[in-house]
Chain A
Amino acid sequence: MISVSSVSKHYGDFAALDDVSVEVESGSLTALLGPSGSGKSTLLRVIAGLEVPDEGTVILEDRDVTRLAPQQRDIGFVFQHYAAFKHMTVRDNVAFGLKVRKRPKAEIAAKVDELLGIVGLAGYQDRYPSQLSGGQRQRMALARALAVEPKVLLLDEPFGALDANVRAELRAWLRRLHDEVHVTTVLVTHDQEEAMELADRIVVLNAGRIEQVGAPRELYDAPANEFVMGFLGPVARLGDGLVRPHDLVLRTDADGIGVEAQISRIVHLGFEVRVELELAGEAEGSVYAQLTRHEAEQLELHEGDIVYVRRDGVKSLPSAA
């Protein structure tokens, strides 16, 4: 288990972390999610020992490591830009942690081959990092981090530098790997979709503070505040509340509940149809509603039509203001 208590970190006047406390269960995959500058990377680096907090403690598996160097923490760290050792072959990169621990050569060779098999780089032993693609380099970096059998695996935006399709592929692969290896993993990301797809639990950070911690669905369905709601998915402001665009219901006839609006644009995105609306009266403003293709066809909507918008059920968040 990772236990971070009351950690603060300042850079000059800027508070990167402001009294942050969070716990990560053993064997889980937790995502630290937030916009840039929210402190998510700093928190990860504090756990790794790459940054020393001004205040607070970090406990890894019942051991207070706050003042320990990264070398002594039994961690694996994966960087956004791979941090591959450019002058070493793939084999030497993965073997690095074992070599500095002076393990027997035969053991190192066996372990390296096993790991390269797991990450799908068998046969690439003698290549140099410059001869690998971005995705391959990041898988090599993962194998390198896993080689020392860390108690905790820390990933700092590991897919941030990759193309969209490679990223999607590696995400699925990482989740499968985690289900096999079950090492306690903390992943930093600014991509809410990545966090929702990969993580068991999400920690949402903003401006150096934790906004909410919970399972992906919990956060999506019951966000603690407007920031969390807005960061986890698109929102529409209807009257005095925020609502997900897919929770908006459109009617072509006035029913007394809905807010009057004029359709400014209809965008067909395959399965999803996005209806952009200009609200009339007190509500005033523009929102968009997400409809399924089927719903849109049933309503026979056209640009310029007047419709009545209301929220579906109770899934709305009362505005804090």
Chain B
Amino acid sequence: MTTSSVSRYGIRVFALGYLALLLLVPIGVVLYRTFEPGVGAVWDSITTPAAVSAFWLTIEITAIAVPLNTIFGIVAALALVRSRVRGKRFLEALIDLPFAISPVVIGLALFLLYGRQGWLGPTFTNAGIQIIFSVPGMVLATIFVCLPFVVREVVPVLREIGDEQEQAASTLGASRWQTFLRVTLPAIRWGVAYGVVLSVARAIGEFGAVSVVSGKISGETITLPLLVENRFSNFDLAGAYAASALMAVIALAVLLAMTLLQRKGDAR
């Protein structure tokens, strides 16, 4: 074995070991602990009314927040890359803000804005809409923390493909909308797909911001991450593990679905 291959293997062992220690081992422990009491116990634990409600709430919030963010993300990316408007730098920084701010602070900000004593809170309360300690607030929090993902994935792809194909489409008679649907969107679809996967993972797992605005009303405003925390603080470790495993399964299912779609799209 030469020195270079030694160092190459050394780097690989180190990288894999690092990943294993930080990612695989904790996840493995969770899965092991989950199924330690037996599959039946796990099934019982994730089919309690509280768990079922948390599952569907998580899905509901994700199903609202991710499509909205996807549309916003594509529009914002187009504005950042294709338009000649001023203040692009500012818009870019603004979109990155949720990455820079702690989710708890985001939750607090929403609380201050829409809470009972907040700036906008009373207006909404008078209109009969409750935002804080209710699902709308949790959706807002989720949208906020997931905001940058689609934009960040689509912007580099848009930059790379350039605008010549779009110009060609316009000279061939395609309207802006036709150009977007037939040329731009297919060209950026993998960027969008990857952004969606990241957004879904984050939306399912978001704890901090959602925790502040949820009010943790059992069976109403408890999502899966909140359920995990809830069970954990009530010393229901097996229950917490089971709920965690359920979240991992949802995330894996989304990842798998995207991979399959991508395979299908690239099979040519």
Residues of A within 8 A of B (CB): 48-50, 69-71, 73, 75-77, 79, 81, 83-88, 96-97, 99-101, 128, 141, 144-145, 148
Total A-B pairs, Cβ < 8 A: 64
Residue of B nearest to A97 (CB): B172
- Asked if B105 CB lies within 8 Å of chain A CBs, one says no
- Cβ contact of A83, chosen from B167, B173, B178, cutoff 8 A: B167
Inter-chain CA distance A180–B172, complex, in Å, is 22
- Please determine whether B187 and A71 come into contact, CB atoms closer than 8 angstroms: no
Q: Which residues of B contact A145 (CB under 8 A)?
A: 171-172
Q: Which residues of A contact B182 (CB under 8 A)?
A: 85, 96, 99-100
- State the Cβ distance, B139 to closest chain A Cβ, in Å: 34
- Please determine whether B171 and A76 come into contact, CB atoms closer than 8 angstroms: yes
Would you list the 4 A-B pairs with minimal beta carbon distance, nearest first? A97-B172, A77-B171, A83-B168, A83-B164
Q: Which residues of B contact A77 (CB under 8 A)?
A: 167-168, 171
Inter-chain CA distance A49–B111, complex, in Å, is 51
Residue of A nearest to B167 (CB): A50
- State the Cβ distance, A96 to closest chain B Cβ, in Å: 5
Given that A83-B164, A87-B186 are known contacts, is A100 also in contact with B178, CB under 8 Å in the complex?
Answer: yes
- State the Cβ distance, B209 to closest chain A Cβ, in Å: 37
Inter-chain CA distance A99–B167, complex, in Å, is 17
- Please determine whether B171 and A85 come into contact, CB atoms closer than 8 angstroms: no
- Please determine whether A96 and B169 come into contact, CB atoms closer than 8 angstroms: yes
- Please determine whether A100 and B172 come into contact, CB atoms closer than 8 angstroms: yes
- Cβ contact of A70, chosen from B167, B183, B268, cutoff 8 A: B167
Given that A85-B183, A96-B182 are known contacts, is A148 also in contact with B173, CB under 8 Å in the complex?
Answer: yes
- Please determine whether B164 and A71 come into contact, CB atoms closer than 8 angstroms: no
- Please determine whether B173 and A85 come into contact, CB atoms closer than 8 angstroms: no
Task: Say whether chain B's binding surface is mostly helix, strand, loop, or mixed.
Answer: helix
- Please determine whether B174 and A75 come into contact, CB atoms closer than 8 angstroms: no
Chain A CB count within 10 A is highest, among B174, B175, B187, for B174
Inter-chain CA distance A83–B182, complex, in Å, is 14
Residue of B nearest to A92 (CB): B182
Q: Which residues of B contact A128 (CB under 8 A)?
A: 268
Inter-chain CA distance A96–B170, complex, in Å, is 11
- Asked if B123 CB lies within 8 Å of chain A CBs, one says no
Task: List B131-186 residues whose CB lies under 8 Å from chain A.
Answer: 164-165, 167-175, 178, 182-183, 186
Q: Which residues of B contact A75 (CB under 8 A)?
A: 171
- State the Cβ distance, A186 to closest chain B Cβ, in Å: 13
- State the Cβ distance, A285 to closest chain B Cβ, in Å: 45
Q: Which residues of A contact B164 (CB under 8 A)?
A: 79, 81, 83
Some 20 contacts from A to B, beta carbons below 8 A apart, are: A49-B171, A50-B167, A69-B170, A70-B171, A76-B171, A77-B167, A79-B164, A83-B164, A83-B165, A83-B167, A83-B168, A85-B165, A85-B169, A86-B165, A88-B186, A96-B182, A97-B173, A100-B175, A148-B172, A148-B173
- Please determine whether B174 and A96 come into contact, CB atoms closer than 8 angstroms: yes
Q: Which residues of B contact A144 (CB under 8 A)?
A: 168, 172
Inter-chain CA distance A83–B179, complex, in Å, is 13
Q: Which residues of A contact B178 (CB under 8 A)?
A: 100
- State the Cβ distance, A222 to closest chain B Cβ, in Å: 36
Inter-chain CA distance A286–B173, complex, in Å, is 54
Q: Which residues of A contact B168 (CB under 8 A)?
A: 77, 79, 83, 85, 141, 144
